[in-house]
Structure 1
Amino acid sequence: MDALPAVVPERGLPFSVTVYEVGPRDGLQAEQGILDAATKAALIGRLGAAGLTVIEATAFVSPKWIPQLADAAEVFARLDPAAGIRYPVLVPNLRGLERAVAAGAREIAVFASATETFARNNLNRGARDVLAQLAPVLAEAGRTGVAVRGYVSMCFGDPWEGEVPFARVVETVTWLLDHGCGRVSLGDTIGTGTPGHVRGLIDALGAAGVEPSSLAGHFHDTYGQALANVHAALQAGVAEFDSSVGGLGGCPYAASATGNLATEDLVWMLHGLGYDTGVDLTALVRTSTWISDRLRRPNASRAATALSRRAGAGAN
């Protein structure tokens, strides 16, 4: 399984790129199967051993809404704080922040929507009401030194509202940055974005004073555009991308949203562009095979599938 892409760097791209692994949180929350805390912690451990340095571990949310992550505190307690790995967690409100901090988290993510309908369907309140609920969370995180990252869903299209105006995304992103988020991830929640759309939104954000260094990309592969969109964002100066081992997940509140961009596919492309991600692709593929087997679902990563077939690799 030691095949590697030819390395051909491209001029004008960011000097380095961060792979932000979301499989243990965003991936597992959308899977039908519910894993025990030990298996989740083992997954996170294997991802870290493969060289990933940012792994979104879980979410401190109501078990009523996300039963797959009801054991957040237990999972977090099983992680190795000395591993040199960042373990951000998602929180929806002040109660979630309190639970996360009590568990030992020092980095959180918060979640907003660029569209009204998705906000009401996902968070049971309007888009601006979501931001109002996040304001005290961001204030408290800033007061206590907890780092915050923002997610904005439906940046490139909404299954109910259709095309999303750039201005609505710009408004939400700038609000999050102004209120303390260090970086905001642009979510293509239903995977309808294309490279020109990505560049157009980043340009619109730039015109509003938002630097590419303040942005990340979160692309779903519903229409096969995720890697093309990553490349477009790279060319625009964005240097952090969310991905999920084995392409786990989707969005439980948007029926047309298929899996996240697979981490293996992202790493394969980045290695081909000459980036030293620090990720051992062979170990990562073994991990994605391992977790896919435990979830009894096919591995959605094309790179993992090709490399596994090449080497006849299986779970271990």
Structure 2
Amino acid sequence: MPHQKVQGFPEKVRIVEVGPRDGLQAWPDPVSTETKIELINRLINAGVPQLEVTSFVAPRAVPQMADAAEVMAAIDRGKGAELTALVPNARGAERAIAAGIDAMVFFLSASESHNQANVNSSRDLSLVAAAEIARLGEQAGIPVYGAIATAFGCPFEGNVPVADIVQIAKAYGDMGINKISLGDTTGMATPALVQERCRALAQQVPDADVALHFHNTRGVGLACAYAGLLEGITRYEASIAGIGGCPFAPGATGNICTEDLVYMLQESGIATGIDLENLIEVARWTENQLGRALPGQVMKAGPRLRLRDRQEVRSASGRA
């Protein structure tokens, strides 16, 4: 029996899996190249249509991503999933292009102080770098997407004016970058902020194709995704089993869990093309490989209608 769709929700949503990059970039223990490749292939086999698989940054800055080219070379690309990678500058873009990436993601922070902490650059200089990457992408025939970090708040400055988000989105658009994502790097998003920012972009940058990227730092990640659905947003970034966290955002915890998000969407009658049961197994496999308990909920409890044998459950004895 198909799930009844929530009124006002889109028919279909595209999930962008960011666990292999955002989830693992700050993981405290080394993760082998082979484990990363198998994780990505398992996610593709579960039906995930788009994955941010790595980051072409300086290995000394992010050692966990030092094997970016090796990971790219070994991924099973037979099922047509779109593979993207984060690139901070022209050198990173050149490496990503040489590795055969499908699309590049450039990122900057909406707040000046976080941008300095994250990439050691001003926002204006970051936009210059974005223009150069857009040019390289156009020459290579590879799309460039634009991410806006700290789009819902900055740990150093507090509230980020919505006008700053609009300004950066317009600057991206002038470079031909129309696919953008709003990053809740610090877990400061609320449903009201999601509504405000999505409506401002819809009104002032109507050509922008917006994705939303939430962390669950304060426990409202899925509530924010729900708010985005009500605004008609159809692209969401999430991380398998909830791994992740920004090293330049004090107190930030993992991203919203991909399997938890897919479960919510499925139960709301929204198609994702992802096999939820398969995805749950990937989440459990990930937890086993990383050797630590991970925050995913659905991988622990299973889908709502997964029934149990009564013999599995201890019953009350009936005695006081």
**8 A contact 1:299–1:305 mirrored in 2:** no
In structure 1, give the amino acid aligned to 2:209. S
Shift, 1:15, TM fit: 2.8
Q: State how far apart, in whole Å, the 1-side matches of 2:79 and 2:107 are.
A: 27
Worse-matched range after superposition: 45-54 or 168-177 = 168-177
In structure 1, give the amino acid aligned to 2:78. A
Query: Is 2:110 the partner of 1:114?
Result: yes
Query: Is 2:296 the partner of 1:301?
Result: yes
Tell me the equivalent position of 1:158: 154
Worse-matched range after superposition: 174-183 or 184-193 = 174-183
**8 A contact 1:139–1:180 mirrored in 2:** no
Tell me the equivalent position of 2:269: 274
Unaligned runs of 5+ in 2: 309-320
Tell me the equivalent position of 2:229: 234
**8 A contact 1:142–1:180 mirrored in 2:** no
Tell me the equivalent position of 2:125: 129
Tell me the equivalent position of 1:74: 70
* Percentage identity across paired residues of the two chains: 40
Q: State how far apart, in whole Å, the 2-side matches of 1:21 and 1:106 are.
A: 14
Unaligned runs of 5+ in 1: none
Shift, 1:228, TM fit: 1.0
- Correspondence 1:167-316 to 2 at 5 A: 167-211=163-207, 214-307=209-302
Q: Secondary structure at the match of 1:242?
A: strand
Q: State how far apart, in whole Å, the 2-side matches of 1:48 and 1:33 are.
A: 24
In structure 1, give the amino acid aligned to 2:85. V
**Alignment deviations for residues 225-281 of structure 1 (CA, whole Å, 9 cap, x no partner):** 111111111111110000000001111111221100100110001101112212111
Tell me how many residue pairs correspond in the alignment: 307
Query: Is 2:29 the partner of 1:65?
Result: no
Q: State how far apart, in whole Å, the 1-side matches of 2:258 and 2:84 are.
A: 17
Task: Report the aligned-residue RMSD.
Answer: 1.8
Shift, 1:124, TM fit: 0.3
Q: State how far apart, in whole Å, the 2-side matches of 1:178 and 1:18 are.
A: 25
Structure ID, larger Rg: 2
Could you say if the C-alpha distance between residues 136 and 280 of structure 1 is closer, same or farther in structure 2, counting changes exceeding 3 Å?
A: same
Shift, 1:311, TM fit: 8.4
In structure 2, give the amino acid aligned to 1:107. A
Tell me the equivalent position of 1:29: 25
Q: State how far apart, in whole Å, the 2-side matches of 1:155 and 1:104 are.
A: 30
Q: State how far apart, in whole Å, the 2-side matches of 1:52 and 1:122 are.
A: 29
**Alignment deviations for residues 66-118 of structure 1 (CA, whole Å, 9 cap, x no partner):** 10010000000001222211111111111111111111113111111100000
Q: State how far apart, in whole Å, the 2-side matches of 1:284 and 1:33 are.
A: 23
**8 A contact 1:147–1:182 mirrored in 2:** no
Q: After TM superposition, what 4+ stretches of structure 1 lie above 4 angstroms from structure 2?
A: none
Q: State how far apart, in whole Å, the 1-side matches of 2:96 and 2:218 are.
A: 35
TM-score, length-normalised on structure 1?
0.93
Q: State how far apart, in whole Å, the 2-side matches of 1:106 and 1:56 are.
A: 10
Q: State how far apart, in whole Å, the 1-side matches of 2:241 and 2:5 are.
A: 25
